[in-house]
Amino acid sequence: MRRCSVLFLLGMVLNCFPLLLDYLCNDPVFDLNKIRIMGVLQRIALTYLLTGILVINCSTVKIWLLGIVMLLGYWAALSLIPVPGYGVGMLTPAGNLPAYIDRLFLTPSHMYRGGPYDPEGISSSFNAAVTVLAGYGTARWLHRQKVKTTTSVKLALAGLACLGFGGLWDLVFPINKALWTSSYVVFTAGWALLVFAAWYEIIEVRSWCWLGYSCEVLGRNAIFVFVASSLGAHTLLKTCISTDQNTISTYSWIYQNLFASWAGNLNGSLAFACTYVFLWWFILYIMYRRRWFIRI
């Protein structure tokens, strides 16, 4: 409960920060009615809470069964329950069941860009919890395996099976991230298992640990860099720089003068993004060397 609360509050801080910057820089009114309630960290908080309760109170078999029931139940709900004004089985942004439930409880003004749906809404968080359960189940299984190539192969085969099953499910229940559909859960679990199998072979089996060093630097302060880099991006977007011609955001000024001016629009955008990522990686590298790890 403590970790869920902290993550949810951090997400709310990220949602409030742009409005606060608008209030300080431009807008004389701080409008609480525009604050989005859900978000990425809120999604992580709710799924962590739900899966944590299941893991503490249920056996592995029950967890797998509950995961399957949740996937099938979500499919059935979106396919069979009619949405007022839209009908049955609609998966459009406004006509799907999770969007209707979110509009009912959150209201559009507190949803992603004012509605009509929220990609990290309440209803889809239950299905997203199955993604967390898949990760937990994988870790639990790994604890009972020997560190060798056959374990990597089993992970890869499981990943291929999930990809195949998710692809078939897509024919009747589309792979959709915004709705976090059941086919999306299975399909993305397949890719996650394949990537994880490759890294397991490289890091654990072959002990080429140096290849994962840059990722470890990021991973040891993952929540910190997510929050801090988001606050930094919002600050660049909301603060302004006056030029001879007009007033533009700090973000646009940096992009136009330091990157697009010599690399062009497309490559300049890529260079700007890579520079921003490297800047935060360097900050995390200093924190890593000093053993400053911020845990939530």
- The packing angle between helices 2-25 and 40-57, to 10°, is 170
Q: Could you read off the pLDDT of 204-216 as tens digits, one per residue?
A: 999 999 999 999 9
**Max CA distance (Å), the chain:** 67
Tell me the whole-structure pTM to 2 decimals.
0.91
**CB-CB neighbours of 296 under 10 Å:** 16
Split at pLDDT 50, 70, 90, the class of 247 is confident
**Cα–Cα distance, 37 to 11 (Å, whole number):** 8
Q: Strand 247-249 relative to strand 240-242: parallel, antiparallel, unpaired?
A: antiparallel
Q: Could you read off the pLDDT of 116-165 as tens digits, one per residue?
A: 999 999 989 999 999 999 999 999 999 999 999 999 999 999 999 999 99
Residue 119, helix vs strand vs coil: coil
Pinpoint the alpha helices (H) of the chain.
2-25, 40-57, 60-80, 97-105, 122-142, 149-169, 182-199, 213-219, 222-238, 250-254, 261-289
User: What's the token pair of residue 91?
Assistant: 């998966």
Mean pLDDT of the chain: 94
